[in-house]
Amino acid sequence: MSLGSTADDQRLHHYTDDSGFKAISSQPVWLFKASKPSGDHPKAAYFTSLPPETKNLSKRLFVRGCAKKTEFFFSFAGTFGLTRLRGGRGDHIFYSLDDYPVEEERQRDRGKT
């Protein structure tokens, strides 16, 4: 499903499982909830520039032992209000410490990976 366009057209993606996909896609404004991932990363909503067809996506995103967490995706334009992760993975990981809304005009694609 392709939707709209904006000036900052860098494509970002959020990966989730079936229940997350249903919850987020049920609303016209996608709301990505901040949550605490495993490890020493802060509670946040996380996004990546790595597209769904990326080889070894779960491994590259350090989503080990839970392939269901990358079963579905959302993609949208722009990095508005997002921070790059520090360190080597900062070239493809962004986050928001708060819940992160994406309005319809920034929404691009969504579906099964």
Range of the domain at 105: 11-50+73-112
The pLDDT value given to residue 29: 98
Q: 70 — phi, psi (to 5°)?
A: -120, 20
The pLDDT tens digits for 74-103 are 999 999 999 988 776 657 889 999 999 999
> What is the spatial order of strands in the sheet that 107-112 belongs to?
83-84, 93-96, 45-48, 11-16, 72-77, 107-112
Tell me the per-residue pLDDT of 48-68, one tens digit each, with 9 for 90 and over.
998 888 787 777 776 655 667
Average pLDDT for the chain: 84
The number of angstroms, rounded, from the C-alpha of 110 to the middle of its chain's C-alpha atoms is 11
Total tally of structural domains belonging to the chain: 1
Q: Is residue 55 part of a domain?
A: no
How open is the CA angle 12-15-20, to the nearest 5 degrees? 125
d(CA 67, CA 64): 7
| Residue 102 is assigned to a structural domain of this protein | yes
Tokens 């967490």 belong to which residue?
A: 69
Within-domain flag for 2? no
